[in-house]
Copies of this chain bind each other. A is one copy, B any other.
Amino acid sequence: MDLDLSRDAAALTAALVDVPSVSGDEQALADAVAGALAGLPHLTIRRDGNAVVARTDLGRPQRVILAGHLDTVPIAGNVPSRTEDGLLYGCGSCDMKSGVAVQLRLAWQLAEPSRDVTYVFYDCEEVEAERNGLLRLCRNAPELLGGDLAVLLEPTGGLIEGGCQGTMRAEITAHGVRAHSARSWRGRNAIHGAGAIIDVLRSYRPREPEVDGLVYHEGLNAVGIAGGVAGNVIPHECVVAVNYRFAPDRTIEQAAEHVRAVFAGFDVEITDAAPAARPGLTDQAAAALLAAVGGTPRAKMGWTDVARFALLGLPAVNYGPGDPELAHSAGEHVPLAQIAECEAKLLAWLS
């Protein structure tokens, strides 16, 4: 199928929604995107599976990345799209085919952008991390993803949400001595011992640091606890799983050091970590974006794919049309006016 990039972004969003692209099944849409961009002489196209990367190469002193995923959660009776009272309904309308439409419109219009632009369209964002197309691109072709700032066009309600917090999971283990519960004084109860781990969590005061002008809000929380052998046994072990959400002024290594320090004296095992991403709003490219978009930017608390750019050394922000609370709902929709506004502001920034 052919995408007509000369139509307005709202019409283009509707056309994108009408090409189903549930995670793992993005080929038709990736083909359509690659086909539409192939006709533009100012872009160099590179395909990697169902990901498409299109780049200008004008030798500008700065390069920005505009990224979006092509896939959606499973369709819930909400394809094809429909428009009602200025709202476009349909699977992926909000998360995030309206953002993809803005990317395509900018690619079509910006033959000579003020900054070199890399447009990244990728697959499998809505499923387990190992299948994520952006992760695959980072591994297969990191040279395509260099630049000074990345913008992920996920729905943010038209606000700039800067960077993202990192996330780390650790298991904190309390040890005891097993015994029959009829003679409990012969053992040492590991669940009672884990009370001291919970004490640490209950008295923990999370930081709220300012990074690049945005205020983050950390958290250190139990997300799981398990202990017990049988109903008549004093348990010898109790494991508390904790999740540390850390601001982008800390690396994974610093976060791990902090967790170990907080639980000094306990058996600590870091089981999982993903880095935070700096918003970079004080850098030149981002400051210009901020001026073009207006409003008050806010810190992104949840982890998002912007952190993949952080691993490549780029600051990154989230900015796109649509209410993020509507993502993944059967009734998801996006105001047509927000799509147009997002396109206009990014166009102004890059013209």
Contact = CB atoms under 8 A, between A and B. Distances in A.
Interface of A: 165, 167, 169, 180-185, 189, 191-192, 194-195, 198-199, 201-202, 217, 219, 221-235, 238, 240-241, 243, 245, 272, 301-303
A302 B233 CA distance: 12
Given A222-B235, A225-B228, 11 more contacts: A167-B232, A182-B245, A183-B217, A189-B221, A191-B198, A194-B198, A223-B228, A223-B232, A224-B228, A228-B241, A231-B272
Contacts of A223: 181, 191, 228-235
Contact of A194 (B225, B230, B241, B303): B225
Listed from nearest, the 7 A-B pairs whose CB atoms lie closest are A224-B228, A195-B198, A191-B222, A184-B219, A182-B302, A182-B301, A181-B243
Contact of A225 (B185, B219, B226, B241): B226
Contacts of A233: 223
Contacts of A195: 195, 198-199, 201-202
Contacts of A245: 181-182, 184
Contacts of A301: 182-183
A221 B238 CA distance: 14
Contact of A222 (B192, B224, B226): B192
Contacts of A224: 191, 227-228, 231, 235
A221 B188 CA distance: 10
Contacts of A183: 217, 219, 301-302
B219 A185 contact: yes
A230 B221 CA distance: 12
Given A194-B198, A201-B192, A226-B226, A184 B302 contact: no
A222 to B, nearest CB: 4
A217 to B, nearest CB: 7
Contact of A202 (B192, B226, B232): B192
Nearest to A272: B231
A181 B246 CA distance: 11
A238 B219 contact: no
Contact of A221 (B165, B181, B199, B272): B181
Contacts of A181: 167, 219, 221, 223, 243, 245
